[in-house]
Amino acid sequence: MDDVTNIDIRVQGNLSSGNAGAAERMPVTAIICGRGRVGKTVVANALVQFCRERGANLQVWNADRQNETHSLSVFHSDAERPPTDDSEEKRVWLETKLGQQVRERFDAVLDMAGGDPTIKRLAKDVRLVTTMERQGIRPVALHILGPEKADLDYLKQSMEDGLFMPAATLIVCNGGLVESGRSVRAVFAEVAKHEVVFQAMDKGAKLIWFPALLCMSQVTDRGLTFAEAMRGQVKPGQEPLSFFDQTRVAIFWEELLPAAFEDVPNDWLPSMTGWRR
């Protein structure tokens, strides 16, 4: 009997018993989704680093095989990947990982490639949100947006098909896509006030603002964590960031990023022993 069948049996067995105890915290699967080239991996990387620095014990799932230079695997050596980019192999891989999460009760962050259909396919085939919740896992969708209205398409489709719109949904306006010197709120005004966003918020979604970091590419190109970059650490053969850029990273990492997550409900984020609000 394969892993997929085993998962199906566990689902059926837990429909009446409720699997997780009433007082047990639901492990989180934070799924980073959206259109291509809106900074999904940057947000995913920042989220993983943010949570781990505050005591989170989570797995990193890197399903974006289209991105090699700045993928999660560059920054997190323990990131797990599907064996190939074949859609069927990726589906089986993800179902296996979710089955492991059900058994072992850990948090996870999943980065998907832009436009990847795997989540929507599972949402259609097995009612993914309901199935995960019945197994005591909380799916959290992070829809990453740039300032173009076309960036709303994935969110719009998710609401229209009604299959992958978990109660825990974050709409993330990526300020890092705004040119330096311009007002992020002004550039995003048309997107943030779009009816699609309002409809999602009416369903319980929350809007958050991911802060810009002027030297983000210099940090990611070096494969550095934010903590390393602000301390001036580099890898062999690299030039350190200027002290101005080190300060920019410190402000981003110690002030702006925590502020961005300030209003996110605790149970929508991986469990963090050192996160105090």
Where residue 47 falls among pLDDT bands split at 50, 70, 90?
very high
Asked if 155 and 246 sit in the same domain, the reply is: no
Q: Where residue 269 falls among pLDDT bands split at 50, 70, 90?
A: very high
Helical (H) or strand (E) element with 140: strand 138-145
- Is residue 88 a part of any domain in this protein? yes
Question: Residue 160: which region, alpha, beta or left (left: phi > 0; alpha: psi -120 to 50)?
Answer: alpha
Residue 14 resides in a domain:
no
**Taking Cα atoms as reference points, which of 169, 212, 219 lies closest to residue 28?**
169
Collect all residues with Cβ–Cβ distance below 8 Å to 92 and sequence separation of at least 6: 3, 4
The pLDDT, as a whole number, for residue 19 is 44
pLDDT of residue 4: 43
150 and 91 share a domain? yes
**228-239, pLDDT tens digit by residue?**
999 999 999 999
Q: Residue 62: inside a domain, yes or no?
A: yes
Residue 171 and residue 78 in one domain: yes
In a domain, 248, yes or no: yes
If asked whether residues 198 and 105 sit together in one domain, one would say: yes
Q: Are residues 233 and 117 in the same domain?
A: no
64-76 tens-digit pLDDT? 877 666 789 989 9
Distance CA 73, CA 68 (A): 8
- If asked whether residues 113 and 226 sit together in one domain, one would say no
Question: If you average pLDDT over residues 143-158, what whole number do you get?
Answer: 93
* Predicted pLDDT at 21: 42
Quote the pLDDT of residue 142. 97
Residue 160 has what pLDDT?
82
Neighbours of 161 (CB within 10 A): 12
Tokens of 155: 């969110």
Mean pLDDT value across residues 131-153:
96
Do 108 and 225 sit in the same domain of this protein? no
Cα Rg of the chain (Å, integer)? 19
> Does one domain contain both 233 and 142?
no
Q: Are residues 100 and 237 in the same domain?
A: no
Mean pLDDT calculated for residue range 44-66: 94
Average pLDDT, the chain: 89
pLDDT band at 277; cut points 50, 70, 90: low
Amino acid occupying residue 133: E
Residue 241 located in a structural domain: yes
Whether 13 maps to a domain, the answer reads no
| Weakest-pLDDT range from 22-36, 50-64, 123-137 | 22-36
Alpha helices by DSSP H, listed for the chain, are: 3-17, 40-53, 72-75, 87-104, 118-126, 128-134, 153-161, 184-187, 189-192, 195-202, 216-221, 226-230, 243-251, 257-260
Which pLDDT does position 23 carry in this prediction?
A: 59
Which band of pLDDT confidence, cut at 50, 70 and 90, is reported for residue 275? confident
Higher-scoring residue by pLDDT: 109, 179 = 109
Mean pLDDT across 3-20: 41
| pLDDT of amino acid 11 | 41
Residue 108 and residue 80 in one domain: yes
Q: Are residues 152 and 34 in the same domain?
A: yes
Nearest to 106 by CA among 170, 66, 146, 51: 51
Record the tokens describing residue 74, joined without a space.
């560059």
What pLDDT score was predicted for residue 272?
96
- Assess whether pLDDT exceeds 50 at residue 7: no
pLDDT at 276 over 90: no
Q: Grade residue 208 by pLDDT with cuts at 50, 70 and 90.
A: very high
Q: Which domain holds residue 230?
A: 214-255
Number of domains in the chain: 2
Domain's final residue, options 161, 190, 212? 212
Say yes or no to pLDDT of 196 above 50: yes
Give residue 47's Cα distance to chain centre. 7
pLDDT for 90 beyond 80? yes
In a domain, 247, yes or no: yes
DSSP 86: -
143 DSSP β-pair partners? 33, 171
Asked whether residue 123 falls in the same domain as residue 67, the answer is yes
Structural domain contains residue 55: yes
